[in-house]
Amino acid sequence: MNFIEKLFQRVTTIVFIFSLTHIQAQYFYTGKIYGSEAMFNPINVLLNNGYDIIQLGNKPRTIFDFPYSHASKNIWDSVTHPGKTISEYGVNKFITNELFPLSFGIQGAQWWPNYNVHLIGGGMTYRMLIDWYKYHNYPLPKMLSIATVGIFHFLNEVTENGHYDNYNGDAVADLLFFDIAGVILFNSDKVAKFFSEELNLSDWSLQPSFRIINKTLQNNGQYFTIKWQLPFSEPWQLFYTFGMDGLLGLSYQIDKEKNIKTVKLAWSSGLFYDKNNSLLASLKISDHIDYQVVLNIYPGIIKLGAFSPGLWTAIDKNGEYMIGISTIWTPGFVIK
């Protein structure tokens, strides 16, 4: 057994010990019945995070016809033989492309989503799931959270792997380094408090919906947002949202609860409206993902008596448009 495999065993032992410790403070989930927080639950987390990669145009959304057996075996072989995987991937390439910010080319900067989505986003989701399980009175909320993040992280690598046959270096970096590091990092109350109160880190993931006619999953994806108060102007904040693509811009606080953001980065632009860091509506235009235009309206805007559904509509790169509806209890479905 080489050094990397021994190190992995020690780290997983530390994570297990963390799962037995008790966390009091809740920073990311407070039981809001409106916006993106109302849509947050373990099922939507699995659909948004586990199938995040299918937002790209070269990945099929037909999740019921996916080579799960082949991809799972390939990922398992890769992470249970990390030394061999890294050796075949290339040690120097693994260090510069995956672990540390030493490569800045489009093809080489795999470390960027590793730090953004896996370390910070994954760690925040782990902590938010603890809050969710505690709020809904589930026993052993931390162990349930670890189980949930373990499943969706593995599923995420499986969907990225697809029919790929060789050892998967990216999966080793994600699963054995950044995903575990995210759990360890956000196990700290000080870290969780900093990201929650100083950076206003929030989960603004989409409203996953099934399209029955062709058995596809639509309008899914994990997205996170950070708002940093600008020192020279109280109503304005620097705003950054990240996930499969990233947007950078400014946020204007209308009152103590509501904010409007206008953001643009590279080939994408968007407009976002939130209440208490829970996203109420968003409009995004992007050439990076398979939806060129997508509008999401979350529960809390449209009210039909006591019922408040979420709605979304999207236009893909072929010009086809879809309309979907969702609720806070179940994944949504495409109605057109």
What is the residue range of 301's domain?
Answer: 202-334
Pairwise CA distance, residues 84 & 12, whole Å: 19
Two tokens, residue 291: 């939806």
Q: Are residues 56 and 189 in the same domain?
A: yes
CA nearest neighbour of 132 among 28, 258, 36, 8 = 28
96 φψ region: left (φ > 0), alpha (ψ -120 to 50), beta (else): alpha
Q: Is residue 26 part of a domain?
A: no
Q: Are residues 53 and 41 in the same domain?
A: yes
**pLDDT per residue as tens, the chain (336 positions):** 455 555 556 556 665 565 556 556 789 999 999 999 999 999 999 999 999 999 987 789 999 999 999 999 999 999 999 999 999 999 999 999 999 988 877 677 889 999 999 999 999 999 999 999 999 999 999 999 999 999 999 999 999 999 999 999 999 999 999 999 999 999 999 999 999 999 999 999 999 999 999 999 999 999 999 999 888 777 889 999 999 888 888 888 888 777 776 665 556 789 999 999 999 999 999 877 789 999 999 999 999 988 999 999 999 888 889 999 999 989 999 998
CB 270 within 8 Å of CB 167: no
Q: Are residues 65 and 127 in the same domain?
A: yes
274, containing H or E segment: strand 268-275
Q: Are residues 284 and 153 in the same domain?
A: no
Pairwise CA distance, residues 25 & 134, whole Å: 11
Q: Are residues 192 and 232 in the same domain?
A: no
Q: Are residues 209 and 182 in the same domain?
A: no
CB 205 within 8 Å of CB 48: yes
Report CA-CA distances (Å) from 55 to 1, 94, 213: 38, 25, 19
Domain termination site, one of 163, 198, 233? 198
CA nearest neighbour of 129 among 55, 54, 41, 200 = 41
Domain termination site, one of 198, 226, 255? 198
Amino acid at the residue 322? M
Domain termination site, one of 198, 232, 254? 198
pTM of structure: 0.91
CA nearest neighbour of 205 among 35, 64, 86, 85 = 35
- The secondary structure of 45-72 as a DSSP string is HHHHHHTGGGGSTTS---GGG--HHHHH
Q: Are residues 251 and 270 in the same domain?
A: yes
Q: Is residue 17 part of a domain?
A: yes
**In sequence order, what are the residues at sequence separation of 6 or more whose Cβ sits closer than 8 angstroms to the Cβ of residue 260?**
251, 252, 254, 271, 272, 273
Number of domains in the chain: 2
